[in-house]
Protein backbone atom coordinates (compact mmCIF):
# COMPACT_ATOMS: atom_id res chain seq x y z
CA UNK A 1 0.00 0.00 0.00
CA UNK A 2 2.86 2.39 0.86
CA UNK A 3 4.39 1.72 -2.58
CA UNK A 4 1.15 2.68 -4.32
CA UNK A 5 0.97 5.90 -2.29
CA UNK A 6 4.58 6.75 -3.11
CA UNK A 7 4.01 6.08 -6.81
CA UNK A 8 0.88 8.21 -6.80
CA UNK A 9 2.63 10.99 -4.88
CA UNK A 10 5.54 10.95 -7.34
CA UNK A 11 3.11 10.97 -10.25
CA UNK A 12 1.20 13.88 -8.68
CA UNK A 13 4.42 15.86 -8.04
CA UNK A 14 5.60 15.26 -11.63
CA UNK A 15 2.17 16.29 -12.89
CA UNK A 16 2.23 19.52 -10.84
CA UNK A 17 5.76 20.32 -12.08
CA UNK A 18 4.65 19.79 -15.68
CA UNK A 19 1.67 22.11 -15.14
CA UNK A 20 3.98 24.78 -13.71
CA UNK A 21 6.39 24.39 -16.66
CA UNK A 22 3.56 24.67 -19.17
CA UNK A 23 2.13 27.74 -17.43
CA UNK A 24 5.56 29.36 -17.50
CA UNK A 25 6.01 28.49 -21.18
CA UNK A 26 2.54 29.86 -21.97
CA UNK A 27 3.33 33.13 -20.19
CA UNK A 28 6.58 33.43 -22.14
CA UNK A 29 4.71 32.88 -25.41
CA UNK A 30 2.11 35.49 -24.44
CA UNK A 31 4.86 38.00 -23.60
CA UNK A 32 6.65 37.27 -26.87
CA UNK A 33 3.42 37.63 -28.84
CA UNK A 34 2.61 40.92 -27.08
CA UNK A 35 6.07 42.31 -27.86
CA UNK A 36 5.78 41.26 -31.52
CA UNK A 37 2.35 42.84 -31.70
CA UNK A 38 3.66 46.05 -30.15
CA UNK A 39 6.43 46.17 -32.78
CA UNK A 40 3.85 45.85 -35.56
CA UNK A 41 1.77 48.61 -33.99
CA UNK A 42 4.86 50.86 -33.86
CA UNK A 43 5.16 50.45 -37.64
CA UNK A 44 1.46 51.23 -38.05
CA UNK A 45 1.92 54.38 -35.94
CA UNK A 46 4.69 55.51 -38.31
CA UNK A 47 2.34 55.06 -41.28
CA UNK A 48 -0.37 57.02 -39.45
CA UNK A 49 2.16 59.80 -38.75
CA UNK A 50 2.80 60.00 -42.49
CA UNK A 51 -0.94 60.18 -43.11
CA UNK A 52 -1.28 63.01 -40.57
CA UNK A 53 1.50 64.98 -42.27
CA UNK A 54 -0.09 64.34 -45.66
CA UNK A 55 -3.46 65.44 -44.29
CA UNK A 56 -1.97 68.70 -43.03
CA UNK A 57 -0.40 69.37 -46.42
CA UNK A 58 -3.60 68.53 -48.28
CA UNK A 59 -5.69 70.73 -45.99
CA UNK A 60 -3.35 73.67 -46.54
CA UNK A 61 -3.59 73.34 -50.32
CA UNK A 62 -7.21 72.24 -50.62
CA UNK A 63 -8.31 75.52 -52.26
CA UNK A 64 -5.83 75.01 -55.09
CA UNK A 65 -6.77 71.39 -55.90
CA UNK A 66 -8.59 70.25 -58.99
CA UNK A 67 -11.28 67.56 -58.95
CA UNK A 68 -8.78 64.68 -59.34
CA UNK A 69 -6.62 65.90 -56.48
CA UNK A 70 -9.68 66.32 -54.24
CA UNK A 71 -10.72 62.74 -55.03
CA UNK A 72 -7.20 61.53 -54.21
CA UNK A 73 -7.28 63.44 -50.91
CA UNK A 74 -10.61 61.80 -50.06
CA UNK A 75 -9.14 58.35 -50.76
CA UNK A 76 -6.13 59.08 -48.57
CA UNK A 77 -8.40 60.11 -45.69
CA UNK A 78 -10.38 56.90 -46.20
CA UNK A 79 -7.23 54.78 -45.89
CA UNK A 80 -6.26 56.66 -42.74
CA UNK A 81 -9.68 55.98 -41.21
CA UNK A 82 -9.36 52.27 -42.06
CA UNK A 83 -6.02 52.13 -40.29
CA UNK A 84 -7.53 53.78 -37.21
CA UNK A 85 -10.43 51.29 -37.28
CA UNK A 86 -7.90 48.45 -37.42
CA UNK A 87 -6.26 49.79 -34.28
CA UNK A 88 -9.61 50.33 -32.57
CA UNK A 89 -10.59 46.74 -33.33
CA UNK A 90 -7.47 45.71 -31.38
CA UNK A 91 -8.40 48.14 -28.58
CA UNK A 92 -5.58 50.52 -29.50
CA UNK A 93 -6.69 54.13 -29.35
CA UNK A 94 -5.08 57.52 -29.77
CA UNK A 95 -4.29 59.12 -26.43
CA UNK A 96 -6.52 62.08 -25.70
CA UNK A 97 -6.04 64.87 -23.21
CA UNK A 98 -9.58 66.06 -22.45
CA UNK A 99 -8.41 68.38 -19.69
CA UNK A 100 -5.69 69.74 -21.99
CA UNK A 101 -2.93 69.05 -19.47
CA UNK A 102 0.29 67.09 -20.05
CA UNK A 103 0.51 63.91 -18.01
CA UNK A 104 3.96 62.32 -18.08
CA UNK A 105 2.48 58.82 -18.17
CA UNK A 106 0.93 59.63 -21.54
CA UNK A 107 3.20 62.20 -23.16
CA UNK A 108 6.71 63.40 -23.71
CA UNK A 109 7.27 67.15 -23.65
CA UNK A 110 9.54 68.08 -26.55
CA UNK A 111 9.25 71.83 -26.21
CA UNK A 112 7.83 74.47 -23.90
CA UNK A 113 6.60 77.96 -24.63
CA UNK A 114 5.70 80.88 -22.43
CA UNK A 115 2.03 81.82 -22.40
CA UNK A 116 1.12 83.97 -19.39
CA UNK A 117 -2.62 83.62 -20.02
CA UNK A 118 -2.51 79.80 -19.75
CA UNK A 119 -1.76 77.43 -16.87
CA UNK A 120 1.49 75.51 -16.56
CA UNK A 121 1.62 72.20 -18.44
CA UNK A 122 -1.30 73.09 -20.71
CA UNK A 123 -0.78 71.38 -24.05
CA UNK A 124 -0.30 73.92 -26.84
CA UNK A 125 0.08 71.37 -29.62
CA UNK A 126 0.50 67.64 -30.20
CA UNK A 127 3.43 66.97 -32.52
CA UNK A 128 2.93 63.19 -32.63
CA UNK A 129 -0.14 61.32 -31.54
CA UNK A 130 0.31 58.83 -28.73
CA UNK A 131 -1.45 55.46 -28.57
CA UNK A 132 -2.65 53.29 -25.71
CA UNK A 133 -3.68 49.63 -25.51
CA UNK A 134 -6.95 49.92 -23.57
CA UNK A 135 -7.22 46.17 -23.00
CA UNK A 136 -3.92 46.02 -21.09
CA UNK A 137 -3.88 49.70 -20.02
CA UNK A 138 -0.43 50.03 -21.59
CA UNK A 139 0.96 53.09 -23.35
CA UNK A 140 2.40 51.88 -26.65
CA UNK A 141 3.71 55.27 -27.70
CA UNK A 142 3.68 58.49 -25.73
CA UNK A 143 2.33 61.58 -27.42
CA UNK A 144 4.96 64.19 -28.25
CA UNK A 145 3.71 67.61 -27.16
CA UNK A 146 4.51 71.28 -26.73
CA UNK A 147 3.36 72.67 -23.38
CA UNK A 148 3.16 75.95 -21.51
CA UNK A 149 5.98 76.77 -19.14
CA UNK A 150 6.07 80.25 -17.73
CA UNK A 151 9.19 81.48 -16.00
CA UNK A 152 8.52 82.41 -12.38
CA UNK A 153 8.49 86.12 -11.76
CA UNK A 154 11.41 87.42 -9.73
pLDDT over 90 at 20, yes or no: yes
For 38-93, how does the pLDDT look when each residue is reduced to its tens digit (9 = 90+)? 899 999 999 999 999 998 888 888 889 889 988 888 999 999 999 999 999 999 99
Q: What is the pLDDT of residues 87-120, one digit of tens each?
A: 999 999 999 998 888 889 999 999 988 888 888 8
Closest CA to 129 of 73, 56, 57, 48: 48
pLDDT at 80: 94
pTM for the whole thing?
Answer: 0.77
Fold of 93-154: Nucleotide Exchange Factor Grpe; Chain A, domain 2 (2.30.22)
Enumerate the domain spans of the chain. Answer: 93-154
Calculate helix-pair angle for 67-89, 2-60, nearest 10 degrees.
160
127 DSSP 8-state letter? E
Query: Does the pLDDT value for residue 32 go beyond 90?
Result: yes
Average pLDDT, the chain: 91
User: What pLDDT is recorded for position 153?
Assistant: 63
pLDDT at residue 90 in the model: 92
Distances (CA, A) of 153 to 8, 60, 116: 78, 39, 11
| pLDDT value of position 19 | 96
* Region 25-34 average pLDDT: 94
- Determine the pLDDT at residue 23: 97
Q: What is the pLDDT of residue 65?
A: 87
Handedness of CA 122, 126, 127, 133 (dihedral sign): positive
Amino acid sequence: MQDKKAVLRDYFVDFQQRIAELQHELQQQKDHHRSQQAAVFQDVFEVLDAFEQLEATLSAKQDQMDKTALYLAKNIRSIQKKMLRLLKKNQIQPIEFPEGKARMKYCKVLETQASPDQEEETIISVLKTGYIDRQHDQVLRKAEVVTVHNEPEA
